[in-house]
C-alpha cells in the first residue's frame, strides 16, 4: 500500500523557470532510482508569491525513500539544484513536512 506525504521546500527568488527547466530534463536514471525506491508519484507546485515549493510524494516504503539520501545520483541532483533552492550544508534541500488536514476520496 502506498502512502502520500507532502512537504515544503523553498526556491530562491527569480529561479522558477530554471527550476522548471531542470525538472523538465530530469535524468531518466534518477526517475528509475525513485521508482526503485517505491515512489509511484511525485508532484511539485510553486507559489510565485512566496517561492514556496509544495511537494506531494507517493511511496510504499519510508525507509527506502529515506535511503535515497545516500545515493550518489541523488547527491549529484542535489548539487545541481543547490544554486537555486534552499539547502542544508550537505546539499540536501531544506524540507518541512506538512500535516494532513483533509482528504476527499
Backbone angles phi, psi at 88, to 5 degrees: -75, 165
Indicate which residue of 20, 21, 23, 35 is catalytic: 23
Dihedral (Cα; 76, 81, 86, 89), 10-degree rounding: 30
- Known catalytic residue at 46: no
Report which secondary-structure segment, H or E, holds 7: strand 3-10
Distance between alpha carbon 20 and the CA centroid of its chain, in Å? 13
Q: Report, as residue numbers or ranges, the catalytic residues.
A: 23
Amino acid at each position: 500500500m502506498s502512502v502520500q506525504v507532502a512537504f515544503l521546500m523553498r526556491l530562491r527568488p527569480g529561479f522558477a523557470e530554471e527550476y522548471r527547466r531542470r525538472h523538465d530534463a530530469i535524468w531518466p536514471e534518477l526517475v528509475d532510482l525513485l521508482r526503485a525506491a517505491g515512489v509511484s508519484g511525485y508532484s511539485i507546485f510553486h507559489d510565485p508569491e512566496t517561492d514556496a515549493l509544495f511537494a506531494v510524494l507517493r511511496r510504499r516504503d519510508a525507509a527506502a525513500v529515506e535511503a535515497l539520501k545516500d545515493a550518489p545520483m541523488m547527491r549529484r541532483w542535489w548539487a545541481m539544484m543547490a544554486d537555486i533552492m534552499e539547502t542544508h550544508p550537505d546539499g540536501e534541500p531544506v524540507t518541512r513536512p506538512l500535516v494532513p488536514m483533509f482528504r476527499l476520496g
